[in-house]
Structures are given as C-alpha cells and as structure tokens.
Amino acid sequence: MLPLLRFAPSPTGRLHLGNARTALVNWLFARHHGGRLILRLDDTDRERSTAAFAAGIEDDLRWLGLDWDAHYRQSERGAVYAAAFARLQAGGAVYPAYETADELQAKRAAQRAKGLPPVYDRAALQLGPAERSALEAKGRQPHWRFRLSGASVGWSDLVQGDIVVPGGSLSDPILRKADGGWTYTLASVVDDVDLAVSHIIRGDDHRTNTAVQVELFRALGAEQPAFAHLPLLTGPGGAPLSKRSGDGSVHDYREQGIEPHAIRLVLASIGTDRQAAPETSLEDLVETFDLARFGRTSAVLDPDALTRISAAVFQSLPLEVVKQQSGLADLTVAEWRVLQQNARTPGELRAWHRLLREPLAPVIEDRALLETAADLLPEPLPDAETAAAWLDAVKQATGAKGRALMHPIRLALTARDDGPKLADLLPLLGRERALRRLRGETA
Ligand code: GLU
C-alpha cells in the first residue's frame, strides 16, 4: 500500500521554520515513496484559529513549493467526530467531568507544589448520578475524558527508535469540551483513522500526545499508523530558537528575500548526515530522501548558513527566473552576469539595478583625480577591456594607485564603498552617465 501522510498545522499563527520542516519531511516522504499528502487544518481552537492564518500557511507552503493531494478542515468534520465519539461513549470509553479550567489549574499547581506530576486525578470518576445531576442543575456542563488504561505505552518510532511512555505520566485526555466542541486529540485520531493515514511524522513535542493517541486508536478499533518524531529545531549551540537565531516565520524569511529552495535545502539537511549544498535540486532531495538519515538528538538551525546558501541559490538562478523574482523585466544578461556576484537577494539586485538605471547623487572624495578621470574617459566605452585601459590611463596620469585610485572613482560612480569590479560596471553604466557622475553631477 502506498503511504498516506498528513501535515496538520493549527491556523493560530504563521508558519514557522519548525512547522515548515515537518511539512517538508512529510512531503518528501510522500513524494519519495509515490504516496499522497493531506493538508489538514487543525482548527478546533475556534478562538485562536483564523481564516487569515490558514490562508497564510497555505500561501507559504505553496511558496516553498510544497503541494498537497487533499485538503481538510477539522471545523467542517463535526459529524465524523460525533459518530466516533458516540461509539466511544457506547463502549464506556469516556466519562463526564465537571471541573472548570480554574479548578483544574489549581489541582495541577497543588500537585506540582508536592513534587507530583500534574496528572488528572480522575475525581470525576467518583461522582455518583446524584452528584452529577446536582452539578448540572447548577448549570455546569460536562466535558468528556477518555479513560486511559494506565499501562505504559510503547511504539517503535521511525526516528527515535523504541519509545516507552510510562502510563502514570499521562492524564485522561479531554475529547469533548463543555461547550460541545471537539478537541485536537479526538479530531486528530478520528481523522487519521477515517482518512487512513499510514505515517505520522511530527515534532518530538508530540511524544506524549502520541502515547495517548495510541490508546485512542485502539479504542476505536483502528490500526495505529507508523510514528516518527523529529527532534525539535534549536538555534546554534542547542539554544532554543529565538528571533535572533532565526526563528522568523517563513513569511519573514520570504520578505527578507531568502530563496525558498535554500529553506528546503537547509530544512531537509538539519539533523541528518546531509550537507545542504546549493547545487542539490529538489528532485535530488526527493530521490535521496530517507527518514533513516534523521538523527535522534540534535537539529540545529544556523541562520548564517541559511543566508549563505540562499545567496548561492539566488546567484545561480537563470536570467528568466531572476527577472521574475526581482520584478526586473528588463534586466539584461550582461547586467545579471556582473551584478550576480554582489546581489544576494532580489532586493539587493534591485538596488544595484537602480544604481545603473536611475539618477544618483555621486559622492566626491578627490575632485582633482575625478576631473582627470573624466577628461580621459574614452568615447565610445563599449566593454570592460576599454574601461580597464581607461583606469590604467588615470593611474598613469595621476600617480594614484590601488585604493587611492579606485575608491574615489567608485564613490563617484556608485555612491557605495563596495561592489562589482569598476571595469565591469562602467559599460553597464554607459559613458554619458559615468561622465556626469565623475563631474559631480546627479545623473
Ligand atoms: N495541529 C497540531 C500541531 O500543529 C498537529 C499535530 C499533529 O501532527 O498531529 O502541532
């Protein structure tokens, strides 16, 4: 049977790199094995989920080049959850509980104060029918918990190896809220059963959820899927990801001009034996994908490496793609060849391009040298060789060399300290514009 995977983001925020990595690994797994990928929006949290976040996540996934074969929203599948819940109820697998959120919080705080794990004490199981009626008469609606077996739960994880979660560390999960809404735990397992998901690949922060969910799969009479828990992304040195270490949303990286392929390369390589190499294509990533290459322990994101790889990916794009990405429809092949070494992002390319095509106020450092340079400027100025010969002539005439020669000319022509070789830039700038800038005119 071909594998069926799902990526299941909650639309309660933007897609972060950690989620993007989960999405990518699921996508690569599905594509490598010729399987299918479901995008499932886990929007059971009605207060925090928004249509705008959902649209943003989908847009970021498309930008990353990740597509899906089917799409579901948990908010539209209430009937499926109700039917599954009725079966659990009929089988005595769930029980009503009446504690308020504040009461539950107080219980957990008291347990922690005693050094105990904050596990639900099952007080609701002690309530008799009369007590329940009394609570309901006071207007308390029950929420419903799934009764765990209490035994340890184990599975053979495709990334972490054999895992055992002690039964005593797990709380009976709430499946239905007091307002009648379904929780993620119920919706997720019922969906995974109903849609016949074969592999669940997600972050290691879901390990405890998996233990609970394994019991729920059993209670629903379903076979459990294979599980793989990826170690969570950290910043350099194992520090939690922070804004500074590059925990921007995918959208942030996109705005900064980071290449989607660079994100794919880095996220497919982190925590594996693979080196992110700019020349690796997406097809290569699919072909060589193997979950066994993912290690159990660390997954470190180096934001500088991401920036470096992104620059290398951008600089090797063909002209047609660059035109599209940068919005520079009239970028010429000659311009791209020269500017490519100095532009790491579409934004930087646009800045260089503006400098060639739009008026600029030159910075004048050594007026005498620039006068001589202007007087010697050849007519015509067709290529880099002519420009190099001219620089040589200015050197002979002024006695200036090295930085003393190049820096004033560069500042006059570009108003910048750095950039492509002057001999390469000059023909792109054109004689007229170069001459006026050397003379200190805005041109
Ligand atoms: N909505 C959950 C999350 O974003 C999905 C977890 C899962 O894959 O089941 O963490």
CATH number at residue 133: 3.90.800.10
pLDDT value for 237: 82
Q: Are 143 and 174 in contact (CB under 8 A)?
A: yes
- 206, 212, 213, 217: which to mutate for ligand 1, most atoms within 8 A of CB? 206
In a domain, 307, yes or no: no
Residue 408 and residue 370 in contact, taking contact as beta carbons nearer than 8 Å:
yes
Ligand 1 atom with the smallest distance to the CA of 42 is: 1
CB atoms closer than 10 angstroms to residue 316: 13
In a domain, 296, yes or no: no
Q: Which of the listed residues 233, 249, 266 is the one where a domain comes to its end? A: 233
For residue 172, the model assigns a pLDDT of: 98
Tell me which residue has tokens 């690949």: 201
Distance 335 CA to ligand 1 centre (A): 46
Q: Which of 64, 208, 89 is nearest to 142 (CA)?
A: 89
Q: How far apart are CA 409 and CA 391, in angstroms?
A: 9
Strand-pairing partners, residue 97, are: 143
Place of tokens 């639900």: 120
| Residues 60 and 195 occupy one common structural domain | yes
CATH number at 43 reads: 3.40.50.620
Are 379 and 431 within one domain? yes
State in Å: Cα 71 to ligand 1 middle.
15
Query: Does 94 fall in a domain?
Result: yes
What is the rounded (10 degree) CA torsion for 223, 45, 145, 101? 160
114 shares a domain with 162: yes
pLDDT in tens, 383-409: 999 999 999 999 999 999 999 999 999
Task: Decide if 337 is inside a domain.
Answer: yes
Task: Please give the distance, rounded to the nearest whole angstrom, from the Cα atom of residue 10 to the centre of ligand 1.
Answer: 7
CATH number of the domain where residue 384 is located: 1.10.10.350
Residues 6+ apart with CB under 8 A from 295: 231, 271, 272, 273
Residue 61, pLDDT score: 98
Q: How buried is 361 (Cβ within 10 angstroms: 0-12 exposed, 13-18 middle, 19+ buried)? A: exposed
- In whole angstroms, what is the distance from residue 304 CA to residue 101 CA? 43
In a domain, 206, yes or no: yes
Q: What is the mean pLDDT, run by run of 10 residues, along the chain of 443 residues? A: 97 94 98 98 96 98 98 98 98 98 97 95 97 96 98 98 97 98 98 98 97 98 98 84 67 94 97 94 98 92 94 97 96 97 96 97 97 97 97 98 97 97 97 98 98
Q: Judge if 34 and 122 occupy the same domain.
A: no
Whose tokens are 């050397």? That residue is 438
Residue whose CA is closest, atom 4 of ligand 1? 9
Which residue range is the domain that position 154 belongs to?
Answer: 80-176
- Token readout for 289 is 């994908």
Question: Which amino acid appears at position 163 of this protein?
Answer: I
Residue 21 lies in a domain: yes
Point out the domain boundary residue: 330, 357, 384. Answer: 357
| Ligand 1 atom at minimal distance to the Cα of residue 213 | 9
Report the residue among 10, 38, 204, 213 best suited for mutation to probe ligand 1: largest number of ligand atoms under 8 A from its CB: 10
pTM (global) more than 0.85: yes
Q: Is residue 43 domain-shared with residue 124, that is, in the same domain?
A: no
The residue among 176, 200, 220 that closes a domain is 176
Residue 277 backbone dihedrals phi, psi, to 5 degrees: -120, 130
CA atoms in the 13 A half-sphere facing the CB of 152:
7
Looking at the fold, whether 193 and 69 belong to one and the same domain comes out as yes
- Residue 103 in domain: yes
Say if residue 371 is in the same domain as residue 404. yes
* Residue with CA nearest ligand 1 atom 10: 9
Same domain as 193, residue 62: yes
Same-domain pairing of 59 and 202:
yes
The count of structural domains within the chain is 4
127 and 145, same domain (yes or no): yes
Residue with tokens 């450092």: 365
The contacts of residue 54 (CB under 8 Å, 6+ apart) are 11, 41, 43, 73
Same structural domain for residues 45 and 127? Answer: no
pLDDT score for 104: 97
User: Does a structural domain hold residue 426?
Assistant: yes
- Looking at beta carbons, which pairs linking 137-141 to residues 24 or more positions away fall under 8 Å? 140/98, 140/100, 140/178, 141/178, 141/179, 141/180
Q: Do 67 and 198 fall within a single domain?
A: yes
The verdict on the CB of residue 42 being under 6 Å from ligand 1 is yes
